[in-house]
Amino acid sequence: MEYNYTTIKGLKTSYLKVGSGEPIILLHGLFSHCLEYERLINLLKKNFTVYGLNLPGFGDTVQPKRVFSIDDFADFVLKFMNKMGIKRTSIIAHSGGGIVATDFSIKYPKRVKKLILVSAAGIKLNCSKRKIFYRLFVVQPIVELFNFREWRRLFALMGMNIFDFIVHPFRGNLWKSILKDMEVDYESSVRNLKVPTVLLWGDKDEIFPLDYARRFHKLIPKSKFIVVPGHHLWILLGPEKYWKRIKPKII
């Protein structure tokens, strides 16, 4: 897979486009870019035209000069859709990409066919900013280094060394927006989410635990909730194991 390039909001933007069928946009997590989701993309492309969009500051997409808010990231997605000629799409979002996807779906429900949130941010964590920072930038790197048998393969896939892996999210502004916006109470907005929504979660997620996922699920009207064995990165490292189970909820 290789990136294509376009310009969105004045920023050189990298994205993937593979497969055929109805569109689905993939929004990556905080420590990642779209090529890391190759295993998931290879499953999705059998039924969808997959657009893997690298948000500003991630992958080969240029970092903006100012700090983007979550609304700015949502507007970035909207402008990408317009540039690609996508009138309506499903969105699948992992981790930090979830808060962007949720915000987008609340603001532009007519543009979203289905929202799939995978171990995703999207509502306020019941803890301090310090604990949020700790979970995202201390726990997550440790989990990704030591809790997975395939962590060496993951580094090879990302083309990163350990130092790059730790500092990567700080090169983009999304982490600042997440820390800021996850202190905001989005619950009233999420209750008004009109888009069909599926939540897919690992039962051992250390970043956004199951109690967080259950609360998220209860807030979204008529949402579906599926729990699979795994940690925060199960969707990168082993989506094939659960594909037969989760595919009907995504298609």
Q: Given pLDDT bands bounded at 50, 70 and 90, which one contains residue 125?
A: low
Strands 224-228 and 197-202: parallel
Q: Is 72 exposed, middle or buried (0-12, 13-18, 19+ CB in 10 A)?
A: middle
Percent of the chain having pLDDT more than 70?
75
Residue 231 or residue 105, greater confidence = 105
- What's the rounded Cα separation, in Å, for the pair 16 and 100? 18
- What's the rounded Cα separation, in Å, for the pair 126 and 247? 31
Query: In which element (H, E) is residue 179 found?
Result: helix 174-181
- Lowest average pLDDT, out of 63-72, 181-190, 223-232, 241-250, goes to 181-190
pLDDT at 168 over 60: no
Q: Write out the residue range of the structural domain in which residue 77 sits.
A: 4-250
The model carries a pTM of 0.82
AA letter at 135? R
Helix 97-107, helix 174-181: angle, nearest 10: 70
- What's the rounded Cα separation, in Å, for the pair 56 and 66? 11
For residue 182, give the CATH number of its domain: 3.40.50.1820
- Tally of domains within the chain: 1
